[in-house]
Structures are given as C-alpha cells and as structure tokens.
Structure 1
Amino acid sequence: MGFELRPAQALRLLHRTSLSQARSQAPDLTLRQTAILLTIYLEPPPHTVRGLAARLNVTKPVITRALDTLGRMDLIERRRDDADKRSVLVRRTPAGSLYVARMADQFVEEAGALAS
C-alpha cells in the first residue's frame, strides 16, 4: 500500500466498505461468515470443517452453520474427501471468487478515497 493508515482511518475504511456492501445487491454476510470465506479464498487449500474450526478457534457446528449459508449463496461448495470419507472438503466456486474480487475492489476504491 502506498500510504499508512492510522487507526481511525482503518476504522473509516472498514465502515465505508461495509456501507458499500450493505447498499449493494450482493449477499449480506456476517463478520464470521466473511472471515470464513476469506480464509477459504486467501489461504491455500485444502480446507476442511475441522481445519476451519481450528483456524478460527470456534466449534465445528459454528463452521457448519456458516458454510450452510455460504453454500446456499453459492459462494462455496462442500464435498466428501475421497481419501478420507469422514472429512468434508470446502471448495471455492466461481460465484465466490467473483464476490471476493468485488469485495477487494471495494476496499481498494474506498482506500483510494481515504488517501485523496
């Protein structure tokens, strides 16, 4: 990034981006759902329910509920791991990739507005 953010600016960036997302036609995600989605898209796979629960320090049912919602929105998909039938792999989708890319674009746009 070409500039440093002070704490108040960082909060303003989060606020402006959140407002932009809330006003858009894109699905509304909770902060936890967003954290899970970004973990899936920004950290290397494979992703499992167990692994996501450990990474976010929450229970597997918390992850399962969030994945249910993200799956209904077509932002992720779940499949049984052929190598370990007890494990469920969480995968990216084209719609999810587009959602995350648009989210990134919103942050860049709002950061640019703060910098000017």
Structure 2
Amino acid sequence: MNIELKPIQALTLWKEVALSEVRDDAHDLTMRQLAVLLTVYLEPPPHTIRGMAAKLEVTKPVITRALDTMGGYGLVDRHRDEKDKRNVLVKRTVKGALYVERLGDLVIAKARGLPL
C-alpha cells in the first residue's frame, strides 16, 4: 500500500497523534524514547544497548536513559545476557506491546480523518 501525503498533511497527522497522546494522559515519551521503543517492537530481537546505540547513531547513555524511563512505565524490560555478561538485553513486555499496538491504531484513525 502506498500512501501519498503532502508535507502539511504529514505534519498535521503527527500533530493530531501527539495531541491525542497528550489529551489521553498517555506516557510522555520523548522523540528519542519513542525511536528506541519502536526499534524494540518493530525490529526483530535480540536488542542490546550497544547494538541499539549503533543502529540509532546515539550514545549508550542515551539508550540507557530512554530505557530507564520506559522501564519505569513497564514498556520494556532489561536483563543481563547469560551468554555474554557484558551485554544487556532489552526485552518486550505485554504492556509495551499493547502501547505500541494502540499507538499504531491511533495513527491509522487519525490518518483516516485527514482531508485529502
């Protein structure tokens, strides 16, 4: 499926999704946190802090801070890699999967409401 949006439509969609998140008192994720969260849920595991930092071209402390916040919300979990204790594995949670699914549904609903 190919969807064509003009820049103003894309930005309006982004604004409407963001406003819905604010109004619904959803988790207040930064753009970095959202990028990390979507990487965890939309790309196949395993996910390590080191690997995600390289993939997203940010430092490991950026990933760690994002995971600290999202872990507090129950959206992700972290465990030491039993095979290599230097690595920390980032795991999906049921709560996180439901959050990402709801966010996807919200984007679809807001996109359907856009004037074309």
TM-score range, shorter chain: over 0.9
What secondary structure is seen at the aligned counterpart in 2 of 1:114? coil
Shift of 1:26: 1.7
Q: Give the aligned partner of residue 107 of structure 2.
A: 107
Q: Output the TM-score relative to the length of structure 2.
A: 0.95
Amino acid at match of 1:94: V
What secondary structure is seen at the aligned counterpart in 1 of 2:36? helix
Q: Is 1:98 paired with 2:84?
A: no
Instruction: Let me know the Cα RMSD of the aligned residues.
Output: 1.2
Q: Give the aligned partner of residue 23 of structure 1.
A: 23
Displacement over 3 Å in runs of 4+: none
Q: Give the aligned partner of residue 52 of structure 1.
A: 52
Q: Output the TM-score relative to the length of structure 1.
A: 0.95
Gaps of 5+ in 1: none
- Equivalent pairs counted in the alignment come to 116
What secondary structure is seen at the aligned counterpart in 2 of 1:4? coil
**Counterparts in 2 of 1:16-95, with a 5 A limit?**
16-95=16-95
Gaps of 5+ in 2: none
